[in-house]
């Protein structure tokens, strides 16, 4: 996704906002189309669900979750989901969608669902459950669940607060907080950003200054070299199991890399700073990706 941000007036102190847009690329980063949501703010989460062939997008600044069907028609999921600053999403095998409260900015919400920051819902049955989880706080202490990934057991959620020190875990079935996957020390330069899980339990994570591959035990297997020293905020495994996507928020770059070697296979320079926030890949005859 590429939010349309005024490049001449980027002010981190006042927050970043613009017209929300989803751009469709093929695997070689050739643009194939775009969707304008009709909202301003910042699209943060993007998820393609093959079971219902819908593309879901979240805009925490507008407390909205949008869904696009195969025809491109837009649907709002406000009828059964309560008002929250929804952020990134993960998909379970049964079609459940997991998302988190992105941050504590804006007016607090008080309703019958309580203060749970992790939400699991099913778009077909409209079942919704809230989970109270531990929060790192990340940069400024106001980030909640900035990014998350679901383990292959469909119950264990890995999640982080942006620029935090903890990669937390939570069991949605037993409703129990698990031990942290990793915790960075005060003197460690790495911070937690977008991540994803590999089939063997390894974790790919962006760390601001680059990206890291962790073993299933939390040991560093590989540091991926990058040419820019900051701004690397999303690492997402590709569907082929051999590559991953690494994006740079500050400079508007998106790379497809080889997991084993770190080689950059292809790169997209969007030319837009502070606009690229999420990516969802799907399979069709052209193996297209949406971002």
Domain positions in the chain are 18-26+37-290
Phi first, then psi: give them for residue 14, nearest 5 degrees: -95, -5
Confidence of residue 11 (pLDDT cuts 50, 70, 90): confident
Confidence of residue 105 (pLDDT cuts 50, 70, 90): confident
CATH number of the structural domain 18-26+37-290:
2.130.10.10
List the Cα angle 170/56/169 in 5-degree steps: 10
pLDDT at 287: 47
Q: Is the pLDDT of residue 288 over 80?
A: no
CA distance 96 to 124: 9
Confidence of residue 12 (pLDDT cuts 50, 70, 90): low
pTM: 0.94
pLDDT at 42: 94
Contacts 24+ apart (CB under 8 A), 260-265: 262/222, 262/224, 262/225
CA distance 83 to 243: 36
The SS3 call for residue 140 is helix
DSSP secondary structure string for all residues of 11-78: -TTT---EEEEEEEE-TT--EEEEEEEEEEE---EEEEETTTTEEEEEEGGGTEEEEE-TT--EEE-T
Strands of 60-210, DSSP E: 64-68, 74-76, 86-91, 97-101, 118-121, 128-131, 147-150, 156-160, 166-171, 176-183, 195-197, 203-206
Q: Is the pLDDT of residue 285 over 70?
A: no
Q: Is the pLDDT of residue 109 over 90?
A: no
pLDDT at 106: 76
List the Cα angle 167/158/198 in 5-degree steps: 105
Give per-residue pLDDT as tens, 34-88: 999 999 999 999 999 999 999 999 999 999 999 999 999 999 998 899 999 999 9
CA distance 97 to 89: 7
Confidence of residue 14 (pLDDT cuts 50, 70, 90): low
CA distance 177 to 117: 13
């Amino acid at each position: 996704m590429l939010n349309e941000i005024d490049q001449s007036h980027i002010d981190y102190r006042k927050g970043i906002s613009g017209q929300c847009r989803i751009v469709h690329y093929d695997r070689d980063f050739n643009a194939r189309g775009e969707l304008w949501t009709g909202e301003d703010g910042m699209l943060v989460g993007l998820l393609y669900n093959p079971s219902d062939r819908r593309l879901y997008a979240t805009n925490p600044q507008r407390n909205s979750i949008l869904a696009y069907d195969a025809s491109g028609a837009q649907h709002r999921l406000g009828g059964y989901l309560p008002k929250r600053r929804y952020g990134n999403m993960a998909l379970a095998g049964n079609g459940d969608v997991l998302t988190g409260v992105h941050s504590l900015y804006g007016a607090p919400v008080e309703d019958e669902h309580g203060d749970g920051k992790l939400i699991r819902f099913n778009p077909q049955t409209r079942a919704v459950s809230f989970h109270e989880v531990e929060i790192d706080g990340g940069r400024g202490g106001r980030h909640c669940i900035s990014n998350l990934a679901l383990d292959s057991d469909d119950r264990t959620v890995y999640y982080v607060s942006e620029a935090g020190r903890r990669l937390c875990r939570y069991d949605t079935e037993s409703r129990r907080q698990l031990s942290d996957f990793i915790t960075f020390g005060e003197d460690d330069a790495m911070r937690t950003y977008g991540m994803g899980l590999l089939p063997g339990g390894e974790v790919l994570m962006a760390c601001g200054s680059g990206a890291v591959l962790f073993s299933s035990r939390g040991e560093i297997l590989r540091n991926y070299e990058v040419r820019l020293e900051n701004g690397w905020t999303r690492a997402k495994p590709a569907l082929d199991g051999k590559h991953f996507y690494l994006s740079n928020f500050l400079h508007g770059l998106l790379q497809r890399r080889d997991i084993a070697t770190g080689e950059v296979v292809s790169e997209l320079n969007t030319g837009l700073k502070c606009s690229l926030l999420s990516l969802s890949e799907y399979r069709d005859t052209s193996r297209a990706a949406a971002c």
